[in-house]
Structure 1
C-alpha cells in the first residue's frame, strides 16, 4: 500500500456474532429483518441500525441537536456544521429555510448472516406483571385476563456470525462544503479529525447492541483492513464464512499482503482457527485497533 500521506480512507471488514434487528411486527409477533440472495434467506443487522449504534457508542451523537420541520432532522447551519459538530459526520439533510445536504463521512454495509436463516421462535408473556395487576384490582387472573393486561407474545430469534464492512473517508472528516465559504467557517483541527476517526474505531472494537431488551456483544471475532488509497469496502468480496469456517482464499491473502492487517479473537469461534493463525498470521483484536489508531494519528500528523 502507498505511504500514509497517500491514503484516502480507512476500511474494515468485520465478522461478529450478533443478533439481527427486527422489521415490522404483526400483532404480537415480531420477525427479524431478512434479505434474499443466492436462492436463500439470510437474517441481517441493517446498516442504519449499525450506524446509529456506532454513532451513539462512539460519543459522536453527544452534541446532536435536532428540530422538527415536517420530520425530525439534524440542525445544520453556518454556526453548527460538520466542522464543529461531531454528530453531523454521519451526514444530514436540513430543510428549514435553505436545504442543505451532506453525505456521511463513513459508510457501512448491512451485517449479513453467514448461514441461511433457520426460524427459532421464542414465546413469552407478561404473567408476573398481570398477576400483580390482578392482585391490586382484586380480580381473578384466569377469568379476567384482559382486565389484568395479560398478553402473550412471540418473536423470531437469530444470533449468528454476520459480516459487515465499514469505510471512513479520511479526506472528508471535519469538513462541510455547504458552509466553507462562510466568514466564520473553520475546518476541524487535525487533532479533532483524528479523535473523530478513533472514536468510531473504538465503538466498532467494543460494539454492543440492545435488542429486545437484551445486551448483545457484537465485538469483532475476525477483522481485516487498514488505511487505503481507495474509497471502497476493499475486503467486502473476499471475507466469507462457510460452515463456521473462515474461507482463506488466495484473493484474501493477496489483498492482506498489500499493507493491511488481520486480527482474530482466539476461542474456537471458527472451526479452522489453527489454519487462520498459520496462513494469515493475525494479531489480537486489541493490537489491531491500537495499530489503526497509531496509523490515524500519523495520517493526520498528530
Structure 2
C-alpha cells in the first residue's frame, strides 16, 4: 500500500516572517546562497501555527492541551493523541521534573506530518517600508514614532510529507481507521485555504501550483526541485527539474504513475509544458487534493 503522501506547493505572498530586528528596523528572516542572493523564508513553525489556528477555527481542533506545570511550556501529561490532533500530526515532547530521576528522559513522539520551511523563489532586493504613527501622534500634539520594515513580495515554495502508517498510532494507542483518515483529510482541506495573519494583513497561502502524490515511501521527492523563471511573457515554472523527478523510478516503479499536478489557470505561462509530461494527471488544484483524498481513503480502507 502507498503510505507516503508528499506534495510541494508554490504560493505567492508578501513579508511572511520577521526575526529579531535591529533598533527600529524589522528584519525578515533570510537565507544567503552562494550566488550572492538573499531569500526570505517563513519557518516551518510559523506554517504549523497557522495550520493549527485554522484547524481549530474550521474543524474545532482541541488546543486546550498545554500547560507550564514543570517550568516549561509543553503539552500536558494527561493529553494524548486521542484528545489532540495537533499532537498526533506534529508530534510532542514532554519533559520530566528534575526530581523525577526514576522516570528517565523526556517522552517524545516524532511528527507524522513533516513541513519544510516556506522559502522565497525570488531574491530579496532590500525593499523597505517607512512607517510612523502620525495619525495617533497628531491627536495629542506629539511627534510620531518612526519604524522601517523590510518588505518582500515573492513566490514561495514549501513541501509536506506524511507517513500515513504512523497517523493515529502512539505506543499502545491506536485510533480507528476512520479517525486516522479524517485527520489527514482535515489537514489537506486546511492546506487548500491556508492563510497567514501578520501585521494587520492576511496573506493568502493557498496553492497556485502543487505537485506530488502517494508513494511507497514517505519521501519529499519534489523538495528543492521546484523553481520559477521569468521571460517576456511572465512567470513560468522550470519544468526540467520536475520532469527529472517524474521520470525517475523507485523500487522499479516510475514515479510518474503516482504523480499528479494541480495548477491555477493563468497563474503561470507554461502550463502546456506539463501537459506533455503528465498528460491527464495535470488538473486543477482542487482536483489534485481530491485525488490525494481518494488515495488516503483507499489506504485506510474507508468509503
Q: TM-score range by the shorter chain?
A: 0.7 to 0.9
Match of 1:272 in 2: 270
Residue 278 of structure 1 deviates from its aligned partner by 4.8
Q: Encode CA deviations 1:52-83: one digit per residue, 9 max, x unaligned.
A: 21122123783121111222111144xx2123
Distance 1:235 1:258 in 2: 15
Distance 2:48 2:119 in 1: 15
SS at match of 1:164: strand
Which one has the largest radius of gyration? 1
Q: Which runs of 5+ in 2 are unaligned?
A: 98-102, 249-254
Residue 93 of structure 1 contacts residue 100 of structure 1 at CA under 8 Å; is this kept in 2?
yes
Q: How many residues align?
A: 274
Alignment of 1:286 with 2:281, yes or no, is no
Residue 197 of structure 1 deviates from its aligned partner by 0.5
Residue 221 of structure 1 deviates from its aligned partner by 0.7
Match of 1:8 in 2: 3
Q: Encode CA deviations 1:106-152: one digit per residue, 9 max, x unaligned.
A: 111111111221121011111222223x1xxxxxx2xx43xxxx312
Alignment of 1:191 with 2:181, yes or no, is no
Alignment of 1:28 with 2:35, yes or no, is no
Higher mean alpha-carbon deviation, 236-245 vs 203-212, is at: 236-245
Residue 238 of structure 1 deviates from its aligned partner by 2.7
SS at match of 2:53: helix
Distance 1:76 1:12 in 2: 33
SS at match of 2:174: coil
Residue 114 of structure 1 contacts residue 162 of structure 1 at CA under 8 Å; is this kept in 2?
yes
Match of 1:138 in 2: none
Distance 2:192 2:25 in 1: 33
CA-based RMSD of the aligned residues comes to: 1.9
Mark the CA change 1:54 to 1:160 in structure 2 (over 3 Å): closer, same or farther.
same
Q: How does 1:1-302 map to 2 (within 5 A)?
A: 6-19=1-14, 20-39=16-35, 40-59=37-56, 62-64=61-63, 65-68=65-68, 69-77=70-78, 80-89=79-88, 90-97=90-97, 98=103, 99-132=106-139, 134=140, 141=141, 144-145=142-143, 150-177=144-171, 180=172, 186-243=173-230, 244-249=235-240, 250-254=243-247, 257-267=256-266, 269-281=267-279, 282-302=282-302
Distance 2:145 2:12 in 1: 31
Distance 2:112 2:60 in 1: 14
Residue 190 of structure 1 deviates from its aligned partner by 0.9
SS at match of 2:125: coil
Residue 165 of structure 1 deviates from its aligned partner by 0.5
SS at match of 1:215: strand
Mark the CA change 1:115 to 1:52 in structure 2 (over 3 Å): closer, same or farther.
same
Q: Which runs of 5+ in 1 are unaligned?
A: 1-5, 135-140, 181-185
Distance 2:246 2:220 in 1: 16
Match of 2:252 in 1: none
Q: What TM-score, normalized to structure 2?
A: 0.84
Distance 1:131 1:189 in 2: 61
SS at match of 1:163: strand
Residue 191 of structure 1 deviates from its aligned partner by 1.0
Distance 2:71 2:13 in 1: 35
Using CA pairs under 8 Å that are at least 6 residues apart, name the structure with larger relative contact order, 1 or 2: 1
Residue 246 of structure 2 contacts residue 259 of structure 2 at CA under 8 Å; is this kept in 1?
no
